A and B are shown apart, each in its own frame.
Chain A
Amino acid sequence: MKSILKSRLLKKTYSEKKALWGFLYVLPWLLGFIFFFFVPLLSSLQFSFSKITANSEGITVKYIGFENYVEALTVNTSFNRVLTESIVNIVVNIPLIVIFSLFLAVLLNQKFIGRSAARAIFFLPVILASGVIMNLESTSLVQAISDASSGAKVVNSLQSFELEKMMLQAGVSEWIVNYLTGSVDRIYQIVSQSGVQILIFLAGIQTISPQLYEASKMEGATGYEAFWKITFPMVSPLILVNVIYTIVDSVSTNEITDLILDTGFSAFNFGLSSAMATIYFVAVALILLISTYLISRKVFYYD
């Protein structure tokens, strides 16, 4: 009895001690969170409702209500267009990237000669796909010229032109055809955005126990069935992870962020820029919420 009491006492102090240490361990992050995230987030909100004028004494902030939002949504010539374009782009790309990376992860998980080399190549975009490089690449003249004149001509003419005709003749709805062929044309963009997603799927596939596959093989399941009945449900939680990662990754730099930065740092209209950023954040949060809601209903959890 006494010993139980004693141990309980000890345990309590231990957990108290742990709580104290836990706070200490989290403290650096908490400080950073407050100074470099939370306060800026609040002041971004405040800026979006104010007119900011910079003078020799610093900046003055004057409350003007929803004027900035009104200006962003109704007066500014490019904001609405760029916002919808970027959002549509992100939404269109999500399923493509996720399906493509799942498919490639399944491929890269199979045994074949040169697998490690193939894996290394497919993760290369993780280190190459970054803002500046992508920007400069799209403006590279040499590449454009040689694309038009030589080797890549084959690649270009091999684009989905024929496929498009065939599918249209077969009576597939035009919208679907455009979506599919558009994705073939943008294949480089999709490949270069799916490095991390392939990694995550691959890791997930490797945690599935081989017994499941063996059992299904004994029962006579084909590889196709095994994919849909075993692999797909087992990695479905990761589909959620990957969708969220894809959204977060693709919102960090695109045309809309360029516009926000331009408005802030070139036109020095900090208020308008903050209002734009806030609208953008709300839009992104909506996409995240909707997709999380839709997917999490379908996700299968093994345990």
Chain B
Amino acid sequence: MRNSRLLSVESWKRWIWSFVRLVLIAGLSFLILYPILQKISTAIKDKEDLYSPIVVWVPIHYTWDNFKQAIMIMDYWETLVNTFALSISTTILTAISCALAGYGFARLKFKGSNLLFAGVILTILVPPSTILIPLYLNLKDFTLLGIVPLLTGKSANLLNTYWPFILTALTANSLKAGLYIFIFRQFFRGIPKEVEEAAYIDGAGVGRTFSRIMLPNAIPAIITVLLFSFVWQWNDSFFTTTYLSSGKVMSVQLSALPYNLNNIVSGGSSQADPFYLSMVQDTGILLAILPLIIIYFFVQRYFVEGIERTGIVG
């Protein structure tokens, strides 16, 4: 008798908790999705509905005009292709160079490797704005210790090219690369040494062991690094807007969008409707993050699973 009452109190507690949990999670999910939903709702609205007091979420007059306008101003398709090219190339190069460095730091110890790893930590900790200006001047007059002038006769100006991104990615110093090296190092340390030794006894050299044994084992870490690197490169406005200020890349186009929009819509002279401008701007943001959201739908499974097995934790 008492037992059953206890049971019912327990079950009540469980029900209340799952209700509270439902409310919390639903509420916070709504909070996260709210800006996106709002943008979608704004993007398909007609100009007329902007001032209509009846229209809150679902517009009366649907239109694609906002999309057309934003696509035209942002030069969307070209920008999309460029951004994909830039993000994919830097992502792949970053993953390769960081995997090499991570393996080197994890397993192939040499004199001073710990000191160098402290350098990796330093790159994570120093705010990028500290080194931005010297880096900018350096890239503007790129000499590489006098090698470039020797070959071509004058220093190269790498600004407004993809070279800064490719070079930093190739040398594992791109955006947040220290973090990726750290992830790879932790992961490789988690793989048992015996696996490596077995490969060595079977006659594989260090290079073969790495490419045939360690890399296939590190797929979760590779996926995590690829995803993070792609997303952060796509969204990066800090380096991209400084190095590539006139390039047709998504984040540059986005930050220039309000200005371009005002120029084109108002023709430079008459005052345009600020609400309409804001509407097209919202559409532009939606267009910029849309590819990411679509990709995210397909890979979120790996996103969640990948990091759990990368061993950042262990």
Contact = CB atoms under 8 A, between A and B. Distances in A.
Interface of A: 14, 17-26, 28-33, 35-41, 43-44, 47, 58-59, 104, 107, 110, 112, 116, 118-128, 130-133, 135-137, 139-143, 145-146, 149-151, 187-188, 191-192, 199-200, 202-204, 206-207, 238, 241, 248, 251-253, 256-257, 260-261, 264-265, 270, 273-274, 277-278, 280-281, 284-285, 288
B222 to A, nearest CB: 16
A264 B133 contact: yes
A280 B173 contact: no
B270 interface: no
A202 B119 CA distance: 29
B127 A22 contact: no
Contacts of A280: 127, 129-130
Contacts of A17: 206
- Interface magnitude class on chain B: 35 or more
Contact of B181 (A29, A104, A107, A116): A29
B1 interface: no
A192 B100 CA distance: 32
B64 interface: no
A118 B138 CA distance: 46
Interface string B207-249: 1001000000000000000000001100111100110000000
A19 B113 CA distance: 9
Given A17-B206, A25-B104, A28-B172, 11 more contacts: A28-B101, A28-B170, A39-B134, A120-B296, A142-B42, A142-B278, A191-B31, A191-B32, A203-B307, A261-B242, A277-B130
24 contacts: A18-B108, A22-B107, A25-B108, A28-B171, A29-B171, A29-B173, A31-B171, A33-B171, A36-B171, A40-B131, A41-B130, A47-B134, A121-B33, A128-B289, A130-B251, A132-B241, A136-B281, A142-B42, A143-B35, A149-B53, A191-B32, A207-B313, A265-B136, A273-B133
Given A29-B172, A203-B308, A40 B134 contact: yes
Contacts of A288: 125
Contacts of B24: 107
Nearest to A249: B176
Q: Which of A28, A118, A285 has the most CB of B within 10 A?
A: A28
B257 interface: yes
B258 interface: yes
B255 A135 contact: yes
Contacts of A270: 133, 137
B124 interface: yes
B105 interface: yes
B277 to A, nearest CB: 8
Contact of A127 (B110, B126, B241, B292): B292
Interface centre among B126, B130, B200, B231 (most CB of A within 10 A): B130
Interface string B1-40: 0000000000000000010011011001101110110100
A104 B28 CA distance: 10
Contacts, number: 277
* Dominant secondary structure of chain B at its interface with chain A: helix
Contacts of B172: 28-29, 32
Given A123-B304, A238-B313, A142 B282 contact: yes
B132 interface: yes
Contacts of B35: 128, 137, 143
Interface in B290-313: 292-293, 296, 300, 303-304, 307-308, 310, 312-313
B213 to A, nearest CB: 14
A107 B25 CA distance: 8
A198 B202 CA distance: 42
Given A140-B282, A142-B278, A124 B32 contact: yes
Interface string B76-96: 000000000000000000000
A39 to B, nearest CB: 7
Contacts of B293: 124, 127
A138 B100 CA distance: 40
